Amino acid sequence: MVIQVLLRDPRSGSETKYEFDQSPVRIGRNQLNNVVLDGNFVSGWHGTIRFDPTGTNYFDLGSTNGTCIDGKRLPKNTAILMSDIADNTRSDSTQT
């Protein structure tokens, strides 16, 4: 199983695409993460994406500044099913 992750920089609008075939995918400022994000708002170990044949989840690891998806803040230490995010984005024509 392979997942694709597309990250969009809100300041520049630039996009970076990643592909992963192993779970979990670690995200954060620390150089040991699979996806390293530079920014004061990103924790060293910010979140993880876990995937298997039953689904894909994003989990905020209790990061200092939290995680916002589609402009909504996720509660700390909460998992969100990624298909819920994709379905929400597709159904709202104002999303970019």
pLDDT of the residue at 5:
85
Q: Per-residue pLDDT tens for 5-29?
A: 888 877 888 999 999 999 999 999 9
Instruction: Report the pLDDT averaged over residues 60-83.
Output: 81
Q: Which residues contact 89 (CB under 8 A, 6 or more apart)?
A: 70, 95
* Nearest-5° Cα angle at 92, 36 to 3: 35
Residue 65 exposure: Cα atoms within 13 Å on the Cβ side: 12
As given in the structure block, the two tokens for residue 57 are: 């989840």
